[in-house]
Structure 1
Amino acid sequence: MDALDAPGFTLRQLSYLVCAADEGTIAAAAARLHVSASAISEAISELERELGSQLTVRRRARGLTLTSTGADVVARARDLLASSRELETSLRGAPGELVGPVTIGCYPTLAPTILPPLLAGFGRAHPRVELDIVEATHDRLEGRLESGRIDVAFVYDTLVPGEPRRAKLFALPAHVVVAGDDPLAARGSVRLAELAERDLILLDAPPSSEHTLSLFAAAGVTPRVRHRVQSSEAVRALVGRGLGYGILVQRPANPASYEGYPVAMLEIAPRVPPVGIDVIWPASPEPTARTRALIEFARSLPWPGRP
C-alpha cells in the first residue's frame, strides 16, 4: 500500500475499541461515549473485519476481553489517538502557544497543598490550557494513567498501580495533631507510646491509613482507633472538638479546624521517615508539550519540605 493511501479503518473505530477495553463492557463504553451500544459493537466488528483478526471476546454475562492481538492493537491505538488529538489542538493556537486539555489526578489530602499554587501559576502562564481535576486515592488511579484518562497525577510515593514515570517534589514526616487545649499542645514533640491510651481519629484512606498504622507497628504500639474518616479536614475537625488525636502528613498554615477550634501540630519523636510527594505520568505515550510544561512548572515551585 502506498504511504499516502488511507487505511481502511477509522479513528472512531479505534476510539470505540479503546473505550470498550477500558470500561470492560460495550454498555459501559456506550454510556461513557454517549452513543448506542450497537454502534460500538458494530464499529469493533468492522475493525476486526478490516484488520482480519479477532480483537475481542464478547460474552453477554462476562463483558468484553481482549485477545492478544486486540491488546496489541489497543496499545498502538492509544498512540495514534493521542497523536491525532495533538494534531487537532496544535492548530488552535499561535506558534509556541500551549493549547488544549490536561487532566490532573491528585490524592485528596494533597489537593489543598498542590492545586492552589499549581492552578493559579500555570493558569496565568498558559491561559489556553484547560486544566481538569480528578481527585482520587491511589487505588482508584489504577488504569487511569495507562488509559490516558489522566495525563499527570500528584501522589504519595508509595506503590501506584502500573509503572508510571515520576519525579519527587518534596517530602514531609508525619506529625501528631491534638486539640489546642490538650496538655500536649504546648510541647514540640510526642512519642507514639504516649498516645497508646488515647483515642485516635484515623484518616482511613489508602495509603494514609496503612502508613499511620505502620508507624505505630514500628514503635511497638497498638493505637486505640475511635473514629475512621476519609478526609484530613474531618480528622482536624474531630481533633479540634477534643474527640481524639490525629496523624497527618500535610501541614496547613491555618492553626484551627474547619469549625474554628484551635489545633496544634507536634513532631513525632524519635523522628519518623518523611513521606515523599511525587508527580507521575504515563510511561507511554510521550506526554504532550502542555503536560511536560505542567510537570516542569510543578517541579519549579517552592514546596514546603523541599530540600
Structure 2
Amino acid sequence: MTPLPSPQQLRYLLALADHGHFGRAAVACAVTQSTLSAGIIALERQLDAGLLERGAAKRPVFTPLGLEVVARAREALAALGAVAETAAAARDPLAGPLRLGVIPTIGPFLLPRLMPALRDGFPRLRLWLREDHTERLVAQLEAGRLDLLLLALPCACGEAETLALTDDPFLAALPAGHRLAARDRVPAGALAAERLLLLEDGHCLREHALEACGLPHGALPPEEGFAATSLHTLVQMVASGLGVTLVPRLAVEGGVLAGTRVEVRPLENADGVEAAPGRSLALAWRPRSPRAAEFRGLAPAIAAAVRGG
C-alpha cells in the first residue's frame, strides 16, 4: 500500500505556496524553518517526486507537478476539515468558532446591531471576523481560512453556494442645495450626467453603482482621481460639493451621513416610478459544506438585523 502524506506535511507545503517564503511559512505553521524544510523534503522522498526546483532562486519555485500537488493538498485538507466539521455540527450546531468574512460596505453598518443579536440568539457561537474586499474574502473561503461570508450580490463568488438575505436599495446622495435635491425622487440615469464619485477599484459597490446609473462596468467617472477608499470618505466628498454618489440604504440607516449636510433621495426609473436599483445582501460558503444547514439557520437572524428588527 502506498504510504500517504501526513496532514502536517501538506500544511507545510500549502504554507510555502501561500507565503512564497520558507521563513514566513514556518512562522505561519509555528515551527522552525528547518523543521518545515525537512517536512517538505520528506514529502518529496515519500512521493518520489520533485515538488520544488532546487536552484539559486531566493523564492521557492514549484515544479508543474508541485503545483498540481499543492492543489490536491488543498482539497485533501479541506476534506479532512469537513470530517471534523460534520461531527461538530451534529454534536452541537451553531456552537463553537465561526470565521466570518464581511465586506467593508456592510460590516461597519450592520455589525453593531448584528453582533448583540447573534450573542443573544446563539450564545455558544464564537464569531471571528475578517473584513476585506470580496475577491480576497472569496479566496480565503476557498482556501479554508474562512467558513462563511457576508457580502453583496452580484459578485464573482467562484463556486461558493450563496443564499440571498434581503435587498439593500441604493439612495442618491447629494450635496445640500443640489438641484436634484429639489425632487422627491431622482432618476437613476440623471446621476450619470453628474460628477459621479465612486469607491476605488476592488470594492464591488463601485460596479454596482455604475450598473445602477446605466454605465458599463469598468466605466471611468469624469473625475477618476476622486475615487474614495470607504463610504465615510465618499460621503465627506459629497458633502464638500465634489460630486454625487449612490449609498446603500443599510449604510444610511447605519449612520454614514451623521454630522454631514448630505441629502439622500430614492431613485426612480424612466417612467417616473420609484425604482429600487441596489444590491442583494447574501451569505456564501464552500460548496457541500457540512455546516450549510447551520449557515441557513443563521440567515433569518442576519436578515432581521438588516431590517433593524
Q: TM-score range by the shorter chain?
A: 0.7 to 0.9
Q: 2:132 aligns with which of 128, 133, 136?
A: 136
Query: Following the alignment from structure 2 to structure 1, what is the Cα–Cα distance between the partners of residues 30 and 113?
Result: 35
Contact 1:178–1:265 (8 Å) recurs in 2: yes
TM-score using structure 1 length: 0.78
1:283 equivalent to 2:279? Answer no
User: CA offsets per residue over residues 21-72 of structure 1, 9 Å max, x none?
Assistant: 333443432232343322212112223334x343723453453433434532
Shift in alpha-carbon separation, 1:68–1:53, aligned structure 2, 3 A: farther
Question: Could you tell me how far apart the structure 2 residues matched to 1:255 and 1:142 are?
Answer: 28
Deviations, residues 66-101 of structure 1 (Å, cap 9, x unaligned):
3434532431123224535777xx5xxxx6375432
Deviating more after overlay: 239-248 vs 187-196: 187-196
**CA offset digits 1:138-184 (Å, max 9, x no partner):** 22224211111111001111232521111111123322101344343
Task: Verify the 8 A CA contact 2:192 2:213 in the aligned structure 1.
Answer: no
* Change in 2 beyond 3 A, CA 1:135/1:152: same
Name the CA distance, whole Å, in 1 between partners of 2:282 and 2:110.
11
**What residue identity is the alignment partner of 2:173?**
V
Distance in 1, matches of 2:20 and 2:244, equals 42
> Over residues 244-266 of structure 1, what are the superposed CA-to-partner deviations in whole Å (9 max), with x where a residue is unaligned?
221122432267734x1232221
User: Which residue of the other structure, out of 293, 301, 304, is the alignment partner of 1:302?
Assistant: 304
Alignment of 1:222-233 (within 5 A): 223-225=221-223, 227-233=226-232
| Larger strand percent | 1
1:199-230 CA distance string (max 9 Å, x none): 332222432222323344449x9853362102
What is the correspondence of 1:157-196 to structure 2 with a 5 Å cutoff? 157-195=153-191
Matched-pair contact (CA < 8 Å) for 2:14–2:70: no
Q: Distance in 2 between matches of 1:48 and 1:174?
A: 54
**RMSD (Å), alpha carbons:** 3.4
User: After superposition, where does 1:117-156 map in structure 2 within 5 Å?
Assistant: 117-156=113-152
What residue is the counterpart of 1:202 in the other structure?
198
Secondary structure of 2:257's partner? coil
Contact 2:102–2:151 under 8 Å retained in 1: yes
Cα displacement (A) at 1:277? 1.8
Which protein has the bigger helix share? 2
Residue 257 of structure 1: aligned partner:
257
**How many residues are matched?**
291
Query: Percent same amino acid among aligned pairs?
Result: 25
Cα separation, partners in 2 of 1:293 and 1:160, compared to 1, 3 Å: same
CA distance in 2, matches of 1:197, 1:274: 19
Question: Match of 2:246?
Answer: 247
Q: Which runs of 5+ in 2 are unaligned?
A: 270-274
Residue 74 of structure 2 is aligned to residue 78 of structure 1:
no
Q: After TM superposition, give the deviation of residue 136 of structure 1 in Å.
A: 1.0
Provide the residue aligned with 2:68 in structure 1.
68
Deviates more, 1:243-252 or 1:105-114: 243-252
Report the counterpart of residue 272 of structure 2 in structure 1. Answer: none
Amino acid at match of 1:75: E
Mapped contact 1:169–1:303 kept (Cα < 8 A): no
8 Å contact from structure 1 (residues 168, 277) kept in 2: yes
The SS at the match of 1:169 is strand
Q: Which ranges of structure 1 fall in alignment gaps of 5 or more residues?
A: 2-6
Aligned to 1:17: 13
Tell whether the 8 Å contact from 2:208 to 2:278 is kept in structure 1 after alignment: no
SS at 1:109 equivalent: coil
Tell me the residue number matched to 1:107: 103
Aligned to 1:54: 49
TM-score (norm 2): 0.78
